[in-house]
Amino acid sequence: MTQESARDRNSRAVAARIIERWLRTDLFPDRLIAPGTEDRAFVVEVVYGVVKRLRTLQWVVDRFAERSPEVNVLAPLLVGLYQVLLMDTVQDYAAVNETVEAVRSAGLSHAAGFVNGVLRRTLRERESILCELNRQNIAVAESHPDFLVKRWISCFGEERTAALCKWNNGRARATVAFNPLKTDGVSFATSLQDGGVAAEPHAHAPERFLTLPAGTRIPPLPGFAAGHFSVQDPSTFVAVRLLDPQPGDIVLDACASPGGKTVLIAEQMQDTGTVIAMDLYRDRLGILEQNITRMDLCSVKPREGNAASEEDVRNACPDDLFDRILLDVPCSNTGVLRRRPDARWRVNEEKLGQLTKIQRMLLESVSIFLKPGGTMVYSTCSLEREENEKQIDGWLARNDGFEITASAALFPPDSRTDGVYAAALKRLK
């Protein structure tokens, strides 16, 4: 057996290589996990677990190492530490032995003793390590950057911030929304039950959304290929409710991909009228097109373009202005860190400033294409006031032809959903 094939058969080695690439490149972890990865569920669990708990695991490394090891050694060490400290579904001996073997098979035999020693010492002292970890500040104990924790404590208080960080470190379960054009809630739930899937109504939107059991594979589910449901978090419904699209409307979904809200809009319009679904990136638009095709929606018209460019919006615009516009802007993603754990390490003051500038540009660009009396909904999956309330207050102060008619925000530990903000803006003239 070649060294490469031996490495490929060790799921810890696969996870360690992905973590090493992530640490070196800061690429999105989900794009580093190949679709055909063997033992994919385990690899995804370990990779996302290490990304989420990076700061906590680094704290453990710092306890046992005089200096942090090189990245090619640190990556498998983090993989092993996550298993023995924070993953209760693996056997200790397998976690240690196979992680050490992954180090050797990567040509790092000189580091195998170090990794083995740290992992075995961690096992021996596991209870005391976990107790001491619980005494650390929120940022270390719950593995978040100081930047976010300080902001959140100032905004939400320490207790709610701790709850938010714990929520972010939990496992996200898939939720689905049935398509009312093709089925109803009772029939859909019954079809899942008949297929052996015990789905539960989601507490935030039980009339439309169901939570699937952990580990459920989506494509084999009854009705998937026929477009009976879409996979999305109940928080997506907040902006669509405020938008309140009606049959026959002409609607712009300005930053549409991957298309979850686009689907909900078209369904609410009974697939009549027109939904212009614009996105800047061709590859992301391809994902939206796949979703629209599967859901069999005829009213949606995908368009490639930059919503911050008036020219691009004008080219996508029909002869008349839009009755309604959904502006789901690029943001810091601090409301979806449970599903996008790497985003917590990307946020800083500079990035936040860049994002708020882009958001202002988008507001200025698309708002001129809204009919008088029409509704524009601005939405984010952020918890940061600069991107939410302050952004809208500032924009309204500069645009007296609009007024805010409603707004909503979801705080994840309370709603058990992703965190979102949405504001409905009416054009007066």
Instruction: Locate the DSSP E strands across 222-299.
Output: 229-231, 250-253, 274-279
- Pick the closest to residue 19 from 67, 56, 65, 54 (CA basis): 54
Burial per residue of 324-363, b for 16 or more beta-carbon CB atoms within 10 angstroms, e otherwise: bbbbbbbbbbbbbbbebbbbbbebeeeebeebbeebbebb
- Pick the closest to residue 168 from 53, 42, 43, 82 (CA basis): 53
Distance CA 315, CA 90 (A): 55
Token couple for 104:
């050797």
Is there a contact between 119 and 64 (Cβ–Cβ < 8 Å)? Answer: no
Is there a contact between 158 and 357 (Cβ–Cβ < 8 Å)? Answer: no
Is there a contact between 16 and 102 (Cβ–Cβ < 8 Å)? Answer: yes
Q: Could you give the strand order of the β-sheet that contains 175-178, starting from the edge strand earlier in sequence?
A: 200-201, 209-211, 175-178, 229-231
Is there a contact between 144 and 169 (Cβ–Cβ < 8 Å)? Answer: no
Is there a contact between 310 and 351 (Cβ–Cβ < 8 Å)? Answer: no
Catalytic-labelled residue, pool 255, 317, 331, 381:
381
Sign of the CA dihedral with 88 first, then 89, 92, and 97 last: negative
> What are the beta bridge partners of residue 424?
377, 406
- Does the active-site annotation cover 298? no
Distance CA 112, CA 77 (A): 10
Residues belonging to the active site: 381
